[in-house]
Every structure is written in structure tokens, then in C-alpha cells.
């Protein structure tokens, strides 16, 4: 009963001045809503904006200019919530400048917004002349793998010449323009049909030159595959026969061998031996296929045949 009495007293205190308490809570909620949704509330945002350079002639390029600048903008919250980098313009005007310059960055924002600051606010750079030079186009082919049957050869390369455009110091570094086939797969595709291959400007050490623009940007390349393997004839040389084995006749005194030119040049004749199994054969006369001893990479296209005699010759018949 005592607990019930305590609860009733608390309830009576809570109901005392209830309308005023409810009104106070309502006012507080209303003020919070107004504060968070009032379009007049000022907020601040920072955006990275592309920097445009005005006043650069077609044969010039601005050096030392950042690609983007930071623009800090302030304004009403409802406008700032819808603001993105595309709504802000940042530019640098170098009209009439020749050589080095120090110019302020100007930023423009939509109405009702204000630019607080731009970082960097000033850009120090220089205008350099853009030059052009024409180079012959060459094809840079991958190395032929060891043991390959074919070598690649350029059959078609178009265009034969390309124009390189760059600042003076960059253009001076360009030594060649090449169509680069980077691996054997790319070369095989160019053998199967025309391939579009990117053009690259290289310096005298064969390294790509950054900042050089090439026109056109790629070339049409078709390769031919030249056979690296040759076929020729070599005399068959029978190695010493096992004891008890005698050659009766060599049916193929010459054999056709196929392989790389260098390997064939080092092969004056083709050694051949009778099969090892002949050591277990009984006496008699046999037609056998010889076993060639060809160097690595050389194939023997002709079966080598011989007639051999194992054991003593048969005794002559009497009169």
C-alpha cells in the first residue's frame, strides 16, 4: 500500500502544470527544427575545382600550372547542399604574357554564395613554345623466343611518318617514334591480320618521352612470319657396330634433316646406330631402322634403314 501511495503522489506532481510543460517541450522542438532547416543558416564547404588557363596561344603551353585548385565557398545551407564542383569555375588569365608569369586565380560561384579563399591563390609558371617535328615510324618487335620456328618481319606499317608535338626541351629528347608490339601474342595477332598498335616517342636510350604528343596516335601493322627452320640432306654415318654385328647394306645413305640454319651448319653428317635390342637377337640377317643421333632442335624427316648380319656368316654349301 505504501508503494501505491508513493506512485500516486508522483503522478499528481507530474500532472501539476502539465500544459506548461508540454508547451515548453513543443517550443524546444520547434526551435530545433527552425535552426536545422532555416535557409538563412550559413555553412562553408571546400571543393577541388579544375583550373582553366585563358589566353594561351595554340603554339604555346603553360608550365607549372596545377590541374586543380581548392575553392572554399560559404553561403546558405540550402544552396550549399546542392553545390558541387561543376558549379564553381576557377581560371587563370595569362593573356599577353610572354615567358614567366605570376597570376592570381579567380573563382566564380553561383549567386548568393561567396568565395572565402582559393588555394593556391597565385600561380607562378611560364609559357613555353610548342614545336613540331616529323619522324619516320618504325616497328619495335618482341624478341624471337629460343627454339622458335618462325621470325617476325614487318609486311605493312602505316603511316610511315608521324608528327611529334612538344615543348622545346621535350622535343629535343625525342629520338624515334615506334609502334610497339609488346609481346609474342601481339605479334601473332599482327600476323593473323592488321593490328592497331600505339605509337610511342622514345629517347636515345629507348625510354618513353613524357609530354610528347604524337599524331596519329597509333599505326596499322601487319607482320609476316619467316620460317627459321630449313631442310637439307646429310650423309648418314653409321657409328661403330656392336661386336658380332656386321653391316650388309645401308638402304638410306642420305637423310633429310630439318632445323635452324646454325644447327644444320654445325652438322656435317648424321650419326646413326643400330637399335640396342640387336644385342639380344639370335644369329641371322635383319632389316632394321637405325636410330639417328641428331642435335637438339634438328629433326630427321627420313626413316633410316639398313640390313645387318648378326653372328657368323653361314657356311658355304658343298659341291
Burial class (CB in 10 A: 0-12, 13-18, 19+), 278: middle
Domains in the chain, CATH or no CATH each: 42-120 (2.170.120.30), 131-227 (2.170.120.40), 230-310 (2.170.120.30)
How far are the Cα atoms of 48, 85, 97, 132, 221 from residue 51, in angstroms, in the given order?
9, 11, 18, 26, 39
A 10 A CB-CB count for 146 gives 6
Cα-atom radius of gyration of the chain, to the nearest Å? Answer: 45
304 φ/ψ angles, rounded to the nearest 5 degrees: -100, 120
Determine the length of the chain. Answer: 319
- The C-alpha cell at 51 is 583550373
One pLDDT digit (tens) per residue for the chain, 319 residues: 555 566 566 656 656 666 666 666 666 666 656 555 555 588 898 899 999 999 888 778 888 889 999 999 999 888 888 888 889 999 999 888 888 889 999 999 998 899 999 999 999 988 888 888 999 998 887 766 555 566 677 888 899 999 999 888 889 999 999 988 877 777 777 777 778 889 999 998 889 999 899 999 999 888 877 666 788 899 999 999 888 899 999 999 999 988 877 788 899 999 999 988 888 889 899 999 999 999 887 888 888 999 999 886 655 555 4
* Residues 1, 264: Cα–Cα separation, whole Å: 118
| Counts for the chain of helices (H) and strands (E), in that order | 6, 22
Any idea which residue has 562553408 for its cell? 44
* Whole-number pLDDT of residue 14: 58
**Predicted structure pTM score:** 0.46
* Whole-number pLDDT of residue 271: 95
* Whole-number pLDDT of residue 145: 59
A 10 A CB-CB count for 283 gives 11
Residue pair 284/244 in contact by the 8 Å Cβ criterion: no
* Whole-number pLDDT of residue 134: 94
Residue pair 307/278 in contact by the 8 Å Cβ criterion: no
* Residues 41, 127: Cα–Cα separation, whole Å: 44
DSSP 22-36: HHHHHHHHHHHHHHH
* Residues 273, 236: Cα–Cα separation, whole Å: 10
Amino acid at each position: 500500500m505504501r508503494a501505491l501511495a508513493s506512485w500516486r503522489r508522483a503522478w499528481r506532481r507530474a500532472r501539476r502544470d502539465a500544459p506548461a510543460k508540454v508547451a515548453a517541450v513543443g517550443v524546444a522542438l520547434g526551435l530545433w527544427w527552425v535552426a536545422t532547416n532555416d535557409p538563412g543558416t550559413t555553412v562553408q564547404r571546400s571543393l577541388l575545382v579544375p583550373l582553366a588557363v585563358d589566353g594561351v596561344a595554340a603554339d604555346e603551353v603553360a608550365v607549372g600550372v596545377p590541374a586543380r585548385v581548392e575553392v572554399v565557398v560559404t553561403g546558405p545551407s540550402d544552396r550549399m547542399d546542392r553545390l558541387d564542383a561543376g558549379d564553381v569555375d576557377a581560371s587563370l588569365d595569362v593573356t599577353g604574357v610572354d615567358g614567366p608569369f605570376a597570376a592570381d586565380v579567380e573563382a566564380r560561384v553561383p549567386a548568393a554564395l561567396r568565395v572565402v579563399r582559393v588555394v593556391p591563390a597565385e600561380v607562378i609558371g611560364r609559357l613555353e613554345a610548342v614545336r613540331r617535328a616529323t619522324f619516320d615510324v618504325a616497328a619495335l618487335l618482341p624478341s624471337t623466343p629460343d627454339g622458335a620456328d618462325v621470325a617476325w618481319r614487318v609486311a605493312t606499317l602505316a603511316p610511315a611518318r608521324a608528327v611529334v608535338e612538344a615543348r622545346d626541351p621535350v622535343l629535343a629528347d625525342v629520338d624515334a617514334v615506334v609502334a610497339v608490339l609488346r609481346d609474342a601474342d601481339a605479334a601473332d595477332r599482327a600476323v593473323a591480320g592488321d593490328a592497331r598498335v600505339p605509337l610511342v616517342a622514345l629517347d636515345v636510350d629507348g625510354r618513353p618521352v613524357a609530354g610528347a604528343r604524337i599524331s596519329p596516335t597509333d599505326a596499322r601493322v601487319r607482320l609476316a612470319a619467316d620460317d627459321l627452320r630449313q631442310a637439307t640432306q646429310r650423309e648418314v654415318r653409321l657409328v661403330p657396330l656392336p661386336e658380332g654385328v656386321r653391316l650388309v647394306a645401308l638402304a638410306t645413305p642420305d637423310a633429310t634433316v630439318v632445323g635452324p640454319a646454325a644447327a644444320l651448319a654445325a652438322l656435317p653428317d648424321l650419326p646413326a646406330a643400330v637399335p640396342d635390342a640387336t644385342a639380344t637377337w639370335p644369329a641371322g640377317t635383319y632389316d632394321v631402322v637405325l636410330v639417328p643421333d641428331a642435335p637438339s632442335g634438328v629433326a630427321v624427316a627420313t626413316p633410316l634403314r639398313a640390313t645387318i648380319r648378326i653372328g657368323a656368316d653361314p657356311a658355304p654349301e658343298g659341291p
